[in-house]
Structures are given as structure tokens and as C-alpha cells.
Amino acid sequence: MGVDAKTILVPWDNDIESMYQSRSLSTYSNLVGMTSAYVAVFYDDNSRRGAVVGALEHTLWKTGVKFHAKNFRLEEGEFGVKNLEAFGGLNGLKETRDYVEHGWVNNVGGELVSPKFLVTVKDDWRDAMEEYGRGQAKEGRKLPGGMEAPVVGWNR
């Protein structure tokens, strides 16, 4: 049957301008880079086997997952992704609509660390997303001012 490699891209802000997208990786050139905010899902639509890469912390950095499609010479078990980068510091007009350059992060405690990420592979990508969701709930984060933090990002 072969691999029908797909991805789910998550927007920084789920509003009228930005929406969740499911894309077939076989239709994109390997030169086209893609970015997903917070978390990215990679899966085979035929078998549902998939991987999830996502940030578990959102209090200091905007997080993202960048990658390129690998749409040729896919081998058994490959999802059609190369040059994967999970990182803190997502910014830019296209990704987050940030018009102004980011400021400095104050290193008050003497330690500056990157956010934690979860990488998981499951026989069903939906189970991998459930695991990611449980990881979000464990964090029990509070936003400045004592507000409850939303599960992912700032949107409820």
C-alpha cells in the first residue's frame, strides 16, 4: 500500500487568519520548509502510525517545530520528514505576526534553559497526541499574575 505521509501544522493563534492544517508531505518540494507552533504531528494516513514532537512548556518562549518534506525515496517506516528542529524562540511576521523585534530575557535566577519537549511514536498518531495532552496537563503551569495557563499556548 505504501506510505501516505502527512503532517498537521498548528498555528500560533487559532483565529480567522490562521487555522490548523493537514498537509500531504508528498505534494511539497523538499526545499519548502514548514513550521508548526507548539507541536507537529507526522503520520502515515494508511496505517495511522505516527510521531508527535511538541513543547511541554510555554511560559517563557514561543515554541515551534520546523522541518522539510522528504517526498522521494521513502523507505519502510519513514514519515516523509527531514531536517527536523524543535526549538524555543519562535517569532516572525509569518509564524506569530510579531511586528517588533523580540526583547531580552532576564536571567534573574542565574539559569536560562530551553523548554522541555516530548517526542513520541505510536501505532496510532491520535494516541501520541493523547500522550502529548497528558504531558501538558502534568505541567500545572501558572501564568504571571496567578492566571491558569491554557493547555497549549494562550488561546482557550
The pLDDT assigned to 156 comes to 42
| Burial letters 25-54, b for 16+ CB under 10 A, else e | bbebeeeeebbbbbbbbbbbeeeebbbbbb
Candidate ranges 47-51, 72-76, 93-97; pick with highest mean pLDDT: 47-51
Given a cut of 90, is residue 13 above it in pLDDT?
Answer: no
Give the confidence band of 76 by pLDDT, cuts at 50, 70, 90: low
Q: What is the pTM of this model?
A: 0.77
Per the model's pLDDT, the better-predicted residue between 75 and 46 turns out to be: 46
